[in-house]
Structure 1
Amino acid sequence: MYSVMIVDDEPIIRMGLKKIVNWEEYGFRIVCEARDGEDALGKLNEHQVDFIVTDIRMPKLSGIDLLREIRERGLKVEVLLLSGYDDFSYAQQGLRLGAFDYILKPLDASKLKSTLVNAFKKLSEKDKEYHELNMNKLISREKILYDLLRGKNLIMMDEYISQYNLPLIKGKIQVAIVEINDIVTNSQLLIDNHLRDELEKSVSHLIEDELYKSKIDNYSILDEDLGKKFIIVQTDKEIDISVFNDDFVAVLNKILKASNEELGTELNIAVGNPYNQLYSMHKSYLNAKEALKYKYVIGTNKLIHISELAQLKQENFIYPIEKENVLITAIILGKESETLTALKELIKQIIEISSLDAFKINLAFTQLVSNVYNNVLKKYSFLKDVYDLSKIMNIGFLGIQTLSEVEKKLTDNITSLVSVIKEYNLNRNDNIVQRACEYVLNHIEEDITLSSISENLNISKNYFCSIFKQQTGENFLEYVTRAKMERAKILLRKHDYRVYEVSEALGYKETAYFSRIFKKHFNCTPAEYKKNDI
């Protein structure tokens, strides 16, 4: 319902206007009336009015003067003028001032009904436009806030705060990231059971409640990826920054506890350092983002403060880099038995020098897989085109309960990596064969023929074919096709290419032919592989 004010200096006219039509039938409700323009302006301070029906000729303040004052105040109210024949020139003046319409006296019910239909339509359109404008502004405001949080366009911060009414004040600031562990680890299961949205809302309400009850006056909560939320807290009070930090950490601990006890939900909470200046907001965010990585090291369902990590890292712990170098060399050479021996010795030494400290052990394992990943990429950068090297980074701290399980996962992943290096013949003693294999993987999306590889190696085709078959047990072109098919899997799944796009990228002119080869290798079509988790 849109609210209406009737303005006329004659009570009998006001009464007649209220009864001449059923206002609610047309989407309107009369909320007040006024005896002249001056009285109407006073009523506008007391009532929310969408539509005014006013006489033109009135004492003190005429309908035209009322309309002019409404426009000067910038009020978004539609005004319908009531005019006698002698006031026609005034009615035209009113239209120029932005009146919705005018009706001649004496009033005709059918004319008023028609006018109300049009007025309802216009007001509805204005509401829709206003809603869309606000939604667009809200979306823009959130995007700008995200950008500032990540350190983008900081030079424009003051202007953005003013223009988009951002919830930021100048003063101390600190950022935390709250991650709902169940959504991160079981997102698809929660989607299938329609539980994810409900869990997101419950956690959001819990966070809001605890912040509202706390000593913190200024805070913002932003949703990020699935199951992840940012909390920005601020103060312009003259308090020590350590007190500001302690107050925030205390609230976060309450959130963690309440989530466990009331919702039965584990959270991972990471906190950045507090800063004295608003312009350091992105630093606190990056601190929190870095701290969150250590959920894999010190476990989930905990509050991790970046300052605590710094203290732990300062403790005396000498990483066995020499044994790691032996392991990485064995991996790169594709020597499986040497790799397993080196890995076993390295794990044993890490456990011994860590004095069974879970944090130190997991920290060392995290460093180990990172170093393996980086060194293998440095040597075989092209390998990532046919094998997802990031698999070795997932050693499974999340959800794994015992050290032996972590060891097994780490061993399985590294063994798998060695198998891939061997599978693509990157560990061959014959320099010609290894160079050929590296050439294929470096040019996997090109048209590779016996002629092109022989020319590159500067040897005859027949000699090359003989050497390659003798060393690897397969024909060279079979090797090329096998590598291209593995590349196709990555393009289909990881990069979300369409089937015909993959076919073209790998040099196959006919998509149907490419699909047949793919099915021969993997017992499913490219489309089936892309659609299903095969």
Structure 2
Amino acid sequence: MKNKILLTTDDRNVRDLFLQIIQDHQFDFSIEEGNRQNVLKEGWLPSNETKVLLVDLDNMTTLAQNIVLQQFNNKKFTMPIVMIKSRYANQEMRRMFKNGVFDCLTKPLDKEVVYRLLQELRIEILQSEQLMQQRSEDPNNIMKSLRVSLIYNLLYGNIKNSREIWNQSQLIGLSTVPNMAMSIQIDEFLWKNKEKNKQWQDVVRNEIITATRQFFIHKLNECLAMGTGVNQFAILLSLPFQEQKAGYKELAVKLADDAKNYISEQTGYSVTIGIGNYYEDVRNLHYSYQEAQYALKYKFFKGNDLVIHVDNIERFTNEHVLLPNQEVSALANKLMVNDQKAVYENLKNLFAKISSSQNVDPEVFILQISEIAAMLARAAINGGANQKEIHMILREYTSLIPFIENLSQLEQWMRDLIHRFLDFITNHHNDHTLKSIQKAMEYIEGHFLEAITLEKVASHVHLSPTYFSRIFKNATGSNFVEYITYLRIEKAKELLQDLNYTVYQIALEVGYSNSHYFSRVFKTIVGKSPSDYRNSILVPSDLTNEKFLN
């Protein structure tokens, strides 16, 4: 029997499009046309056979629309409700989602949007039916609780007694104990569903988990699965005996690759899978899970729709200062003076260096990106933008950081943030001051290794030294001498990486005739002497023998 959709609309184009897509793609739905006036009646409920309610709000008065929303807010409707409208007022769509509406469509309807909606509705109905069946078969949810408890304890190493693990495994119906873990992340799930409520996110994630369990149970007869985050879940498997240790890795990678393709076919979502090693002793299974999570981090650099085994990756370094200060400072300075072409060129260079650093923990990158965003916000304010507006933009974009999953998303996030900052700088900055600072910065960058003076730069931009000094400090946040010193020290740090240069030669190269004075200035700013700094960046860190336990 087909699932019935009750469609309340006077728009024949809407009805015909739904009928066409249901027929073309053989969806298990039927359309029944309803009277929109019924929706306005207090206490009205659709028939028990109705699985989905679609309401066209066009040509309804504001009062009538409010009555409809009030009806749905009474929580009497258990089926998904979809609103259709030509145009939504400000915050109207958000208010509908808060009232429990499943989705909001905008006219004219797009075929792809309707197709995707019908897929999502199919998933929602299936999950609802499975939940009802589960409740009827196991009203107290006892077995589910035992299963979740065992998975949790295995993932985090909470049980140290092998017999206890075996007894609990038998209790939930397993014939063998797991020996390998996978960590699976649904690609771009948070970003695609950030406007959806948590209930919807849980339904989609559980549908993907169900498809994954079905695949592995078909292949291996048994599988344990549990959600570990909004967009992640863990899989515990018992791989059959292999003659060689390498056979376990080969089998796991093959299974994961096939599972990834199966999930995509069944749900329309791509996933990335991290795989840990095989452990014969089930008490060590949490190590396999830690390794799987560790491997999964590499999707930040490698992208989506991948299978990553822990043995195929390099360890992350323990360095904390990862992003090149010179590029970041140059980016902030160009932003401050609204040199848009240079800003985007510097941004491109910055991410080129980031993408070449694939042995760096992505979590450290994200933390430093937050610091860079704050630095750019200060540069925008120093460039003349309104402080309150810049802080609002910074809060808005900072709230999006948890949704960033890979390097390309991070670059787009940064590009959008900078574009917003540049708009405000352009609108608020004095044009004459802007051009003077731009010209001065260009001159300084070309001559800071020489015997440059404030008077010489002021003369170059046709301003008095006193006035130029004031606007330079307001624009950069540093006085002239501090800024020149900063540029020279950054250049010195770069030269110290080349062992062909002595400290004395580097001092001369960056504009200091006295190497002892250069060393004092360097230590004051960096906190280390030039020789100590060189040793700290050229001597490799000791590598620990621990295997991914932290």
The TM-score normalised by the length of structure 2 is 0.38
The TM-score normalised by the length of structure 1 is 0.39
Larger-Rg structure: 1
